[in-house]
Amino acid sequence: MSEQNSKNQRLLGLFPLNWRFDLASLPGVRWLLKQRWFPMIVILINMFIFIVILMSGIMGGFSSGNYSFGIMFVWILWWVLLMMLLVPVLSRTWCMMCPLPSFGEWLQRLRIFGVNNKLGGLNLKWPRRLSNMWVMNFLFLGTTFFSGFFTVKPLVTFYLLGGIIVMGIVLSLIFEKRSFCLYVCPVSGFQGLYANMAMTEIRVKDPNICAKHKKKTCETGNKKGYGCPWLLEPHSLKRNTYCGMCLECFKTCPFDNMAFNIRPPGTDLLVNEKRGLDEAWKSFIMIAIAIMFYVAMMGPWGWIKDWVRGNTLTGWLKFISVHTAFALVIIPGIFFVFSFLSKLFSGSKEVRLKAVFVNLSYCLIPMGLASWIAFSFGFLLPNGSYILHILSDPFALGWDLFGTANIPWTPVATGWLVPLQFITLFAGYLVAADYGYKLSLQTYTDPAAAKRGFIPLLVLLTLVVIAFGWLYGG
């Protein structure tokens, strides 16, 4: 499929994939994006919140999850916001406002708002062999080994966030710019992958202007801003995966050539740039974790809960083994079988199996994101009311700051839970199938071969949506 054809395609046959509206064409928005204090001021507000989260881990109700500010804020509010709004709509805007790497970045820059392109620290290059998502894949999977503790023990959330902050500081002093965010942060990888689905993007307005601009200040920086902290070339940005939306390119571009576009969801899935097994495995891991979380947190199987919560060491080790095998071997293995069938059905001999496997794995992103959104409904609606309580009494010390401390636990619209989950899963399935076909076309080139090659993929997606439907609503 040619680049031109892909530009003429429509999502679900309705929305043209090449439609864009530049939010920064609105003068107020452009002015805001170019200010040095933005997004730093939002980072500082989030830093305030995260300090309260850390404090709630070591003081107050440190054994009680439902009355812990840290647990409720991080695992109910922040996670839900991330999966339901920030990533699918606003791409990596969380990275834009994330306070966790800020201490490290300030130490590099020795500035908070100002510009100092002579960065401190050792400024080493991140190892080439690790310049991918593998470290993040393993770290994120490793983090989920402790999922049975995060939601009940505030101290564990303190250790996790504190660990990320310390790791961010240490790595920022050793490696250049945002190497930590790009290659290590456990939260970064899945945001990058699912940001392919986002309805916003940062891109150049006119590539010809960039082509003529020799200095490439978006890469090197100038007195108005830093060279891309995410080590990208903003002038030729093609997909959201590794763009942390820090907005420095808006400040450094002397031609106001950067755009903050609204677009149809998922257009990046068709961009064949830096695709690889690391990203494919990230989508397998995300689906595996969505299943495991549901089974462990909301399923009726008490013995699995006992494993995940580490009631016995043997049980917990069994959980780690099964979970790791499921995420790294079983789900990829199933996908491999269907990729093999796709190639077989297509009749194509020129296309390598690895290319089929990697390319088609990108259609799991809409399905995975939908499963996470559906899963998020499962704890937002029953448990969201705890947020009102912890806002008034963040450390379980008996405070009533906003008069909401005595609001009892009140599940909201739980009768709508399963229908909402089904609608979300079905929407994800439709988008996944649509992109699956487009990816098949991109992979096999010949439309007839692509149609045949798409059949096993459609069967797999159908099985996946049925499995999630059974799990969530069965």
Partner 1 sequence: MSKTIIKTIISAVLVLACTIGPIVAALAYESSRTRDLTAEILARAPEKGNYSPRFVTVAFGQKVKLRVRNIDTVTHGFAIPALEVDAGEIKAGQYAVLEFTPEKPGKYDFYCTTWCSEFHLQMRGILEVTAR
The residues that touch partner 1, with contacts defined as CB under 8 A, are 44-45, 47-48, 51-52, 55, 59-68, 106, 111-114, 152, 394-399
Residue from 186, 162, 161, 183 nearest 174 by CA: 183
429 Ramachandran zone, left/alpha/beta (phi>0; psi -120 to 50) = alpha
Q: Nearer to partner 1 by C-beta: 411 or 419? A: 411
Taking the complex as a whole, the smallest distance from the CB of residue 100 to partner 1 amounts, in Å, to: 13
Q: How many CB atoms lie within 10 A of CB 85?
A: 13
Which amino acid type is present at position 370? A
Taking the complex as a whole, the smallest distance from the CB of residue 310 to partner 1 amounts, in Å, to: 14
Q: Nearer to partner 1 by C-beta: 65 or 264? A: 65
Taking the complex as a whole, the smallest distance from the CB of residue 52 to partner 1 amounts, in Å, to: 5
Q: For residue 403, how many C-alpha atoms fall within 13 Å in the half-sphere facing its CB?
A: 0
Q: Nearer to partner 1 by C-beta: 71 or 195? A: 71
Structure tokens at 13: 């046959």
Quote the DSSP letter at residue 64: -
Say how far residue 151 (Cα) sits from the centre of its chain. 20
Taking the complex as a whole, the smallest distance from the CB of residue 108 to partner 1 amounts, in Å, to: 15
Q: Nearer to partner 1 by C-beta: 55 or 89? A: 55
State the residue for tokens 């204090």: 37
Q: Are 425 and 372 in contact (CB under 8 A)?
A: no
How many Å apart are CA 214 and CA 160, to the nearest integer? Answer: 43
Taking the complex as a whole, the smallest distance from the CB of residue 152 to partner 1 amounts, in Å, to: 6
> Please, which residues have CB within 8 angstroms of residue 131's CB and are 6 or more apart in sequence?
183
How many Å apart are CA 432 and CA 454, to the nearest integer? Answer: 12
Taking the complex as a whole, the smallest distance from the CB of residue 106 to partner 1 amounts, in Å, to: 8
Q: Nearer to partner 1 by C-beta: 68 or 272? A: 68
Q: What stretch of H or E contains 53?
A: helix 40-58
Structure tokens at 316: 């917990």
Q: Nearer to partner 1 by C-beta: 44 or 334? A: 44
Q: Nearer to partner 1 by C-beta: 384 or 394? A: 394
Taking the complex as a whole, the smallest distance from the CB of residue 157 to partner 1 amounts, in Å, to: 15
Residue from 140, 238, 202, 193 nearest 367 by CA: 193
Whether the bond into 382 is cis, omega within 30 of 0: no
State the residue for tokens 């996944």: 432
Q: Nearer to partner 1 by C-beta: 59 or 455? A: 59
Q: What stretch of H or E contains 262?
A: strand 258-262
Taking the complex as a whole, the smallest distance from the CB of residue 155 to partner 1 amounts, in Å, to: 11
Dihedral sign for Cα 458, 461, 466, 469, please: negative
Taking the complex as a whole, the smallest distance from the CB of residue 98 to partner 1 amounts, in Å, to: 14
Q: Nearer to partner 1 by C-beta: 155 or 322? A: 155
Q: Nearer to partner 1 by C-beta: 62 or 375? A: 62
Taking the complex as a whole, the smallest distance from the CB of residue 112 to partner 1 amounts, in Å, to: 4
Taking the complex as a whole, the smallest distance from the CB of residue 292 to partner 1 amounts, in Å, to: 22
Rg (CA), the chain: 23
Q: Are 101 and 185 in contact (CB under 8 A)?
A: yes
Buried b (16+ CB within 10 A) or exposed e, 91-116: bbbbbbbbbbbbebbeebbeeeeebe
Q: Nearer to partner 1 by C-beta: 42 or 334? A: 42
How many Å apart are CA 304 and CA 300, to the nearest integer? Answer: 9
